[in-house]
Structure 1
Amino acid sequence: MGRSVLRLHGRRGFFRRPWAVWVTAVLILCASPIRGAYGDHGSLREEEVKAAFVFNFLKFVEWPEDRDGRSVVILCVQATSPLVDALVALDGKEIRGRPLRVEISGRPADLLQCHAVFLGSGVPTERIAAVLEGLRGQPVLTLGDAPGFCVQGGMIGLFKEGNKMRFNINLKEARAVRVKISSKLLQLARHVIE
């Protein structure tokens, strides 16, 4: 069930593959020390690291054709998330040739129009559970950084391990709504729930 990030380095021809550049970038981010508000200036802030992970997750996800054919990729963020500023800074960047639009949204009905929803650790547990329940059956990628996010039914959950960022994937929930998560991303996950 658990997969080690380090196992990828032993694969033959790894750096010749097109996705190897992204994988290498993620590994560097995983190895980068994370600082808090008063940490050293040579390290990345935790919010910046998490936002970079979210951005790159979106590059390795495919939605069902009716949603994937849209001209923009919409990432919705709950307004209480401490990551709001870092995620809003991603607005306008490209995801597989389409611009990313980041929206701060609190109304459940608005979330149904999103490709992905980020539920930050600042969102109360009951609210996370309600949003996940409201999105059940919808092809919306759910991301979060609250403890036990994937166990609650979220699809990709970020967490700190020591001073490094890791993530788990709930593949069972993603498959149930036809959201395809790349095998390359699955190989980097700490745990995959199948």
Structure 2
Amino acid sequence: MTEAEQAGRPTGTPEGTDVTGGTTGGDGGAARGGRRLVALFSVAAFAYLLDLSSKMLVVAKLEHHDPIEVFGTWLQLDVIRNRGAAFSLGETMTIVFTIIASAVILVIARIARKLYSLPWAIALGLLLGGALGNLTDRLFRSPGGFEGGVVDFIAPAHFAVFNLADSAIVCGGFLIVILSFRGLDPDGTVHQD
């Protein structure tokens, strides 16, 4: 009987991996999970810093100026302060959106402890970076104290004005939907429905 069979794994299955591709807690699984956390936080930091720097730039250079046409009237850069959610809905509920963003960050932190999937790390990193970007605005932009207006500046024709944090959140959410439909879980296992 081989070592793999004695350990309860089929022959050819790497140590630290179960039959479904998840980890069994061996050293290989810990290293793999650590790399996924690095990927999650790297993607989150990149999305957050890109969002933060773009907002600082457009506030310094474009706020209180006429919109800049990127592609005629089809796409413009036009700075607004959005105290609501997407499409400026719920502008009187800024504190609620701040709490929701904080909850999203906590949920991602909880999921990250069991993260062994690179695609999930990327998706959650995008969500985390976007949530942190908009949460920073709500906490520190005027009037501050959980009621700050989010800086939105990407203005396509006949659509809502948004920012790079919103884009990261949408891309992360879209990736999560695809991963869920494909049956891939954050722990790296694949389930069949």
**TM-score interval, normalised by the smaller of the two chains:** under 0.3
Which structure would you say has the larger RCO, counting Cα contacts within 8 Å and 6 or more residues apart? 2
TM-score if structure 2 supplies the norm length? Answer: 0.24
Q: Greater strand percent: which structure?
A: 1
Q: Greater helix percent: which structure?
A: 2
